[in-house]
Structure formats: structure tokens, C-alpha cells
Structure 1
Amino acid sequence: MTVSKLFTPFTIRSVTFPNRIVLSPMCQYAAVEGEVKDWHLAHHSRFALSGVGGAIVEATGVTKEGRITPGCLGLWHGGQIEGLARITKLYRSHGIPVGIQLAHAGRKASSAAPWDGAGPLSASAPEAAWRTVGPSPIAHTLTWPTPHALSAEEIAEIVESFAAAARRAVEAGFDFVEVHGAHGYLLHSFLSPLANMRNDGYGGTAEKRMRFALEVAAAVRTAIPSTMPLFWRVSAVDHDPQGLGIGDTVQLSAALKQSGIDVIDASSGGINGPIARANIPQHPGHQVPFAAQIRREADIATMAVGLIVDGAQAENVIAHGSADLVALGRELLADPAFAYRAAQALKLPSPEQVLPAQFAFYLTRREQVLSAFKRQ
């Protein structure tokens, strides 16, 4: 029998992922006042029937001002729990562990949705622009507003907002939590010397720039059960010689591990200084080496992302020890049956041996129907 590393279970604390394929958090920009709507349920229903090993709900604002756009989900009050609980019920009823990505957009908040240009909101937008915040009064780019530089007291309030949102996530039934510390959003902006020009306890040295992140990690770890896994998404490199390098992120990851983080979700980029910087080079698996180096040098489990496009590639990531999990976004959007096709491509004897029988039956029947149409 063919042995597949991709389809072996992976246990973190008390949660077991039945296989190593995870749905990436993908913003849907469909919320109203941070609350789940029918679109979110339809979106996640596809993946609850897909046979993935785990799923993460999109970046969810821990404060109203921490949303990326007016259409982003939120967990800044208890009224937002019920809608998210409907999503967790979807996944858990099919045996899929589900997490939520808690986020604060920082100086990249108050943005229009992608189909409206994805730029900063104007005062005349349907939902007017709101004040953005950051480590220093430095705009994301020349066309974005200058953020308010957070005081130490305001930083402490946001740390508590992350913890409070994590407690609500537990109440909503999530199996694990991920903190969004990447892509130029608030936590990443404190880490990066491209955005953080402070000279107090939260800036100057690498250790001081890490302080906010470590405070959030410790607060969230305390807010959730000791049995619940805690992930952290990093931008492993800033793709700028003056910004964060992989060595900085290895140092951060080791410190995050000491603060209770279990898995590093290794992405990259997303931050700019006063002028736009080079685009991130993209090719299949382009970010996997970051996950591999963090895993090896910080001695922490990792999740690899970045154009993972087929089963053989995903298998190699796990089999070669580059990461413990692989997260897919665009590929799963294009093909929710990715897990089934990966099992076929890896020539496993039958889907039933790597996927729950319910998924295998559903996907096999789907193939039969499609084949019948092709014969007509």
C-alpha cells in the first residue's frame, strides 16, 4: 500500500487534523457590521464537504477599527458570536477542525473592497473612512492616510481586544485560533523597521519591536484553553533589504513558541515604507523555504503556503519535512475536491483509506455524474 505523509493525521495539543491540507483564511468582504451573512455559510459549506484536514475562517477584526474593510468579519462584541458558531457547526459536524484568524489591520484598515479599488476609503464612501493606527505616523504608501501612532496605553487596550476576541472565539466553538501577524497589518507593522520608527519600549531594537507581538501571543494563550492550538501567521521576509529578513523571523518564532504559539503559518511581504517596494516573486511553492527554515531553526511546527497547486507538490512539502501542514486558498477555490484529486494523483488505493467515507462517497458520486455528462 502506498504511504502518504500528506494524508497522515497531525495532532497539536488536543486537536487532531485528519490530514495535512488546510483551507487558508480568505477575506470575503461580505459581512455587515462584522456579522456573518449567507454568503459566508455558502462559501464554507463547500469546504466542509471537501475532505480538507482543517479550515481557518478569514481575518476577523478584534476591534471595529481593526477591520480591513467595512465588509470584514469581526469579533469585537458578543452579538457576532452566533453567526460564527453556525460556521463552526458546519465544519465540526463533518469532523474538520476549524480555526479563526484574529486580526487588526492597523494602518491598512479603512480600505475599500477589492472590486471598489482596494484603496483607502474616502469621506464620501457608503461607510465613511475611519482613523487608522500604527506604530509610527508613517503611511502605508504615499496615497494612504498617515496613521495615529499608538500610545503604550492604547497598545495595552488592543492586547486586551485580542484576548477578548479569543474568548469569544472559544464561545463560538472554534477548535483553534490563529493570530494575524503578517502582511503589513498592525502586528507586522510593529515588527518591521520599515514601519516602526519608535524609540520607546515598543521600538528601536529587534527585541522591543517584538514586544507587542509577544504580549498579544501571551494574552491570547491565556484567554483560550490550554488544550487549544494557537497559530501565528508571519511575513517571514519583507522583500526589502531594509526590512525583516528570515533570521529576524526565526528569532521571533522561537520567542513566540516560548509565549505559547504552536504553529507558525509562514507567508511573506505585504508591507511598504514611504515608497512602494518590489513585488514578491511568485512561483509554485515560493514561500515553502520560509516554513522549512523556521521549522528547522526555531524548532516549531509550521504551515507552508504560497501557490501549492497539486497533490504531489503538497506531498513533497510534508514528506521532506519542510512543514507540518500546507494551506491552500486559490487552489481550493478553483477545486474544492483538491483532497480527493490529491489522493488520486498520489495513487492511493482508494479515497476511503485517506478521506472519511462520507467525503469519499460524495466526491466519487460527483466524478460519476461528471463522467456521465461527458459521455452524452
Structure 2
Amino acid sequence: MNTLFTPYPLRSLTIPNRIWMSAMCQYSAAPDGEQVGVPTDWHFAHLAARAAGGTGLILTEGTAVSLEGRISPYDLGIWNRTQVDAFRRITAFLKSQSTVAGIQLAHAGRKACVERPWVDGGRRLAPGEPHSWTPVGPSAIPFSDSSTVPEALTRARIGEIVQEFAAAAERALEAGFEVVEIQGAHGYLIHQFLSPFSNHRTDEYGGSFEGRTRFAREVVDAVRRVWPEDLPVFFRISATDWLTENPDDDREGWTADDTVRFAKELPAHGVDLMDVSTGANVPDAKIVRGPGYQVPFAKRVRTEAGMPVAAVGLITQAGQAQEIITSGKADAVLLARELLRDPYWARRAATELGGEVRTPVQYNRARP
């Protein structure tokens, strides 16, 4: 029987356990100059601590494929050599701890150009303000009432962004990453194309399910072409915009049924696992939160589409995470804020449940 501590094989990789770290923005890179988008000592310390704590797979924060693809001026990026070289230090340390290093490739689209959350509540940067730029999206529909109206992408620019994802994947491989995850969730650009709430296009990239998923498929295909055959590709999705699931909301959005349908298509495009989250494309959507509230969506994908999944969403307790794996609801759990609170969560879970994760040799041999 699979447990939290059972290794998980994917293509040529064997991830040492099912306790994985979800991508979480740190807003700690330089906003301009030669070090823009470059990982800093903060990023190293942040990720290294969770590797030393026994986490099996660590995904970087959403790492922008271009300057305009950042959600804030302080995000990480992987569009140049300086960024690649800085990431190598991080991936080398993670590997030394037997942790698999993964990178989430992202383009923020219409959600872009915001302050750090702890500065004025993460307000939108006004046009012309230092470090600001004009966001883009599938349609000229702002993310919220306070957001800048994005420029609707032309077909030519869509093609350029597809190639930016591929180029970013090539750089990620050079930087030492062994898993690449495509960010198609949380209101980022790919999600904006998927959802009829934010995609009002009338060309081949809009309208029908086939049209709205076209950009996502093109990105996946472009990344898979340059990513080694023996290494896995993940796709992160928001299983629902939380509109159709709310009987009091008559707006049209991306649904759980859409997610299952799309998940059935992705293996043929070389995707190995779906990271199933929800929401963040409709600011005022009513989300019903609670412990493990997103796990049922992951279970649906695994059961109905037959695709490997990782589950997220208020997973905090060791027993809770263990039950998700042993009952077959997901193949792995992705912890977020709980790992911020406790970098050694995996070690604590192993102690509580009688499992085993790697402990740094320095800790095993330490003497008072």
C-alpha cells in the first residue's frame, strides 16, 4: 500500500516520498537592474530548509518566462543566463539532500504588475509608476475593478509567449531542474485562456472548449519538445473558478467537468501529472474552504481521467495527508503554508506515523 513515505517513480526519476512543496511566491528578487528576477540568498535559504527537512520534491515559486510575465516586479524569472547560474546553486543543494528540484514556469497575464502583499496590501501598480508595465491577456478584461486593463494578445504575440515557455524550459534544464511544472492555474495567463470568464476571444483561441484550451496545449507541446523524454512535466490547474459550483452565481467559468475533460487529453501531449488546485481567476467568487477542500477535485481527475495527481488545499496534519495517499485520492500531497510554518514537517510526520524521510548526515552525527 502506498503511504506518504513510499517513493514515487516518474519516468527516470524516483521522488523519495509523497510529501512535496507547492510553489509559493516570495516577492524577494530585485525589481530592476542586472539582478532582476535572480534568486537571492533568501530563496536559497527558503528552499534549502525544506530540503533539509525531508521534503521529497520542491517546486520553486511561479518563475516568469519573461519580464512582463512576472506577477510583481519582485518575482523570480528564468529568461537569462544570470538567472540560470543563480538557480544552479539552489538545485545542487536540493539534489545533495536527495530532494528533487522542480520549477514552475509562469506568465501572470492580466494579473501582473502588483506590489508585494505586505506593501499597501499588494495593490496594483498604476501605469507610469516605477517598475510598472502594461499587462496582457486573452481579452481586454481587467482582473478586478482596480486593475489596469490588459492589452489583448495578438496571434503573433501568443506564438512568441509559447516560445518563451519553451526557452524557459531549456534554461531550467541547464539550471539543474528535473521537473518542470506549467502554471495553468490561479488566474495566470493560461488559466485566463481556459476560462470563458476571462477569455472572450472569437478567434481560434476562444469560444469553444477546443479554442480556449488551444494556448495551453501549444505551451505544453512546446515545453515537451525541448524537455528530456526521461524527465516529467507537470501541469497545474485550477479545477474550477467556483462559479458553476455556486447555484447563486450565474456567471460562466471553468468547471470541474472541464478539468476532467482536459486531463484526459494531457497525457497524449506528454504531461505526467496534474497538480490540482482551484480558483483565483474571479476575485469575488464564493469559495467554500475547509481542511482538504480541494482534494475531491484531485480525486475526480485521478479516478475519471486516470491521470496521476497531486492534491493541495489546507492539508496540515500528518494523518490527513496519509489518508489522502492511502485511500487513493491522490498520488502525492503538495503542502504550502504548512511548510512555511514548519520546514521540518516531513520529519515530524515521519516521527508521528512511523515512517522515514532522509535526515541530513550532519544532524545524525551531531554531538552536544
The 5 A counterparts of 1:149-228 are: 149-228=152-231
* 8 Å CA contact retained: 1:81, 1:171: yes
Measured against aligned partners, the alpha-carbon deviations of 1:45-68 in whole angstroms (never above 9, x if no partner) come to 211211111100110000100000
Matches within 5 A, 1:36-75: 36-75=39-78
Aligned to 1:372: none
Runs of 5+ in structure 1 lacking a partner?
370-376
Instruction: Give the letter for the 2:363 counterpart.
Output: Y
| Aligned-partner Cα distance in 2 for 1:101–1:364 | 35
Matching residue of 2:16: 18
CA contact (8 A) 1:230 1:263 kept: yes
Instruction: Give the counterpart letter for 1:288 in structure 2.
Output: V
**1:164-210 CA distance string (max 9 Å, x none):** 00000000000110000001110000000000011110001011100
CA contact (8 A) 1:214 1:255 kept: no
Per-residue CA distance 1:14-61 (angstroms, 9 max, x = gap): 111110000111111111211111111111121121111110011000
SS in 2 for 1:114: coil
Residues 363 and 235 of structure 1, relative CA distance in 2, 3 Å threshold = farther
1:5 aligns with 2:3: yes
Distance 1:70 1:326 in 2: 30
2:120 is the alignment partner of 1:119:
no
- Separation in 1, partners of 2:49, 2:23: 14
**Does 2:362 correspond to 1:355?**
no
TM-score (ref. length: structure 1): 0.91
Does structure 1 conserve the Cα–Cα contact (< 8 Å) formed by 2:54 and 2:359?
Answer: no
Aligned residue number for residue 97 of structure 1: 100
**SS of equivalent residue, structure 2 residue 29:** coil
Identical amino acids, percent of aligned pairs: 46
Deviation at 1:125, TM superposition (A): 4.0
1:231 corresponds in structure 2 to 234
Identify the match of residue 309 of structure 1 among 313, 316, 320.
316
Alpha-carbon contact 1:230-1:260 (below 8 Å) kept: yes
- After superposition, the Cα gap between the structure-2 partners of 1:203 and 1:244, relative to the gap in structure 1 and judged at 3 Å, is same
Instruction: Quote the offset at 1:251 in angstroms.
Output: 1.0
Give the TM-score normalised by structure 2: 0.93
In structure 2, relative to structure 1, the CA distance for the partners of 1:362 and 1:310 (3 Å cut) is farther
What residue identity is the alignment partner of 1:192?
A: S
- 1:61/1:81 CA distance change after superposition, 3 Å: same
Match of 1:250, as an amino acid?
V
Equivalent residue for 1:287?
A: 294
1:257 to 267, 276, 290: 267
C-alpha separation between the residues in 2 aligned to 1:189 and 1:106? 8
Number of corresponding residues: 355
Residues 363 and 277 from structure 1, CA distance in 2 versus in 1: closer, same or farther, beyond 3 angstroms? farther
Structure 1 runs of 4+ off > 6 angstroms?
A: none
SS of residue in 2 equivalent to 1:248: helix
User: Is contact 2:127-2:148 (8 Å) kept?
Assistant: no
Give the Å deviation of 1:288: 0.5
Judging changes above 3 Å, is the alpha-carbon distance between structure 1 residues 188 and 363 closer, same or farther for their aligned structure 2 residues?
farther
- Whether the 8 Å CA contact 2:291–2:315 is kept in 1: the answer is yes
Distance (whole Å) between structure 2 residues aligned to residue 298 and residue 24 of structure 1: 22
Change (3 A) 1:312 1:143: same
1:343 is matched with 350
What is the letter of the counterpart of residue 300 of structure 2? Q
Instruction: Give 3-state SS (helix, strand or coil) of 1:115's partner.
Output: coil
Task: Tell me what 1:106 maps to.
Answer: 109
Return closer, same or farther for 1:257/1:198 CA change in 2, 3 Å cut-off: same
> What is the rounded CA distance, in whole Å, between the counterparts of 1:51 and 1:362 in structure 2?
12
RMSD: 1.7
Partner of 1:269: 279
For residue 291 of structure 2, what is the amino acid of its counterpart? P
The answer for the alignment partner of 2:248 in structure 1 is: none
State the one-letter code of the partner of 2:274.
Answer: I
Query: Contact (CA 8 Å) 1:67, 1:109: kept in 2 or not?
Result: yes
Q: Deviations over 1:335-369 (max 9, x none)?
A: 111112111221x1xx6xx222536x73897xx99
Q: Is the 8 A contact 2:4 2:17 kept in 1?
A: yes
Shift, 1:124, TM fit: 5.9
For 1:299 and 1:179, how far apart are their aligned partners in 2? 20
- Partner Cα separation in structure 2 for residue 79 and residue 357 of structure 1: 32
